[in-house]
Amino acid sequence: MTGNVRPDTMGRITTPELAEAFIEEQIKELRAQIGDKKVLLALSGGVDSSVVAALLIKAVGKQLVCVHVNHGLLRKGEPEQVVQVFRDEMDANLIYVDAVDRFLDKLAGVSEPEQKRKIIGAEFIRVFEEEARKLEGIDFLAQGTIYPDILESGPVKAHHNVGGLPEDLQFELVEPVKLLFKDEVRVIGKALGLPDGMVYRQPFPGPGLGVRCLGAITRDRLEALRESDAILREEFAKNGLEGKVWQYFTVVPDFKTTGVKNDVRAYEWPCIIRAVNTVDAMTATVENVPFELLQHITERITHEVPGINRVLYDMTPKPTGTIEWE
Ligand code: XMP
């Protein structure tokens, strides 16, 4: 599959049969492209990179080297789960890189969203550069670029952009799902035999919690974000909304509001809940979350998460709001 424009003749991949045909074609193309060379993949554990990993494992097996970078902006429990699923269960070549301090130090004091994305993207490139140099003999870089990334994102926003690698370390790109919409990637993942928990997992942006910890990221506010997000996910799972709602998360802005906790004035952050449905991320509607559940989640977040004294629900569809807040 070449080019960055989806041909008019390309039908939507909606059935297992169409997925099988796509997979067969991709395996042939990947083998032809890669030969007996090695491929490096940034494996975040999200749907896109997981599907790319599974395609490549099918096509070239152990020639694939997955690198999971913990940049400190992942959701609670996520790095551990990636290692467990891919290294232990799928027997993939997986390198785990703990780069938490490195990313957070670089991001300290930076508040402009696109600047944050740039820093995260650039640091990713450096990490890959280091891993690639350690590994030797890597010729290809696989990426989970999907079509909305190409349509909507400028070069700065796209986390898949690898521009900026030094001259002596240029990889050829492998982007087997770049013309697919998210729903199609899920159909492919299912056909590849990936577990449901991975295939129907909600999408998570490359910059991760970094664009949900609004403004300049601080470790304490990032932790409040991670904990509130974990509570939201736990409650959605318990109440049958996991796998039903397309994307849901919390956002913690960089301002405080006055509240009362244990009869004492509490000047703390608010936390915003966002829960949206979409097919291809180009437009989105707001999930009609039961009011009682919102009240329960509010109660839990305000009582269990240090630093948060208020919870709000974002009622804005896309347009006019984007899905993310930054
Ligand atoms: P927006 O906020 O543009 O988001 O409505 C649409 C979808 O894209 C995800 N998103 C990103 N994904 N890098 C990514 O990999 C990014 O910088 C980025 N920004 C937004 C967002 O989570 C949603 O699923």
Ligand 1 pocket test: pick from 75, 209, 323 the residue with the most ligand atoms within 8 Å of its Cβ.
323
Kindly give the distance from the C-alpha atom of residue 118 to the centroid of ligand 1, in angstroms, as a whole number.
14
Q: Which DSSP string corresponds to 213-262? A: B-SS--HHHHHHHHHHHHHHHHHHHHTT-TTTSSEEEEEB-S--EEEEET
What confidence tens digit (pLDDT) does each residue in 33-53 have? 999 999 999 898 888 999 999
Residue nearest (by alpha carbon) to ligand 1 atom 16: 205
Crossing angle of helices 219-238 and 291-304, in 10° steps, is 140
Distance 74 CA to ligand 1 centre (A): 15
pLDDT (0 to 100) of residue 265: 98
Task: Using the mean position of ligand 1's atoms as its centre, give its distance from the Cα of residue 203 in Å.
Answer: 8
Give dist(CA 285, CA 253) in Å, integer: 22
Nearest atom within ligand 1 for CA of residue 182: 24
Cβ of residue 203 lying under 6 Å from some atom of ligand 1: yes
Instruction: State residue 27's pLDDT score.
Output: 97
Contacts within 8 Å (CB) and 24+ apart, 20-25: 20/191, 22/188, 23/55, 23/58, 23/188, 23/191, 23/192
d(CA 266, CA 258): 6
Q: What is the pTM of this model?
A: 0.85
Residues of the chain with pLDDT under 70: 1-2, 153-165
State the greatest distance between any 2 C-alpha atoms of the chain, in Å, as a whole number. 68
